[in-house]
Amino acid sequence: MKKELLCKIERIAVRAVKKAQQESHRKGLPIVYTKNGKICFELPNGSITTINPFSA
């Protein structure tokens, strides 16, 4: 029972994250995350950069 509940919660969370990412891209906003301790920006065109698009 516990494992089933955790799997269901994970599926819901994954769907919510994907929806938020799509909405951000649709609005022209980058997705910001860290990778190996560095801040990365996934731009709406799909490219990934470490250059902050808000300060450019």
Q: Which residues pair with 38 in a beta bridge?
A: 35
Q: Is residue 39 part of a domain?
A: yes
Q: Is residue 55 part of a domain?
A: no
Query: For residues 30 and 39, what is the distance between their CA atoms, to the nearest angstrom?
Result: 12
Q: Please check whether residue 22 lies inside any domain of the structure.
A: yes
Predicted confidence (pLDDT) at residue 53 exceeds the cutoff of 70: yes
Instruction: Let me know if residue 19 belongs to a domain.
Output: yes
Task: Identify the three-state secondary structure at position 23.
Answer: helix
Q: What pLDDT does 55 receive?
A: 87
Is the per-residue pLDDT at 54 higher than 70?
yes
pTM of the model: 0.74
3-class DSSP assignment, residue 7: helix
Residue 54 lies in a domain: no
Number of domains in the chain: 1
CA distance 49 to 37: 14
Residues 6 or more apart whose Cβ sits within 8 Å of residue 44: 24, 25, 26, 28, 29, 30
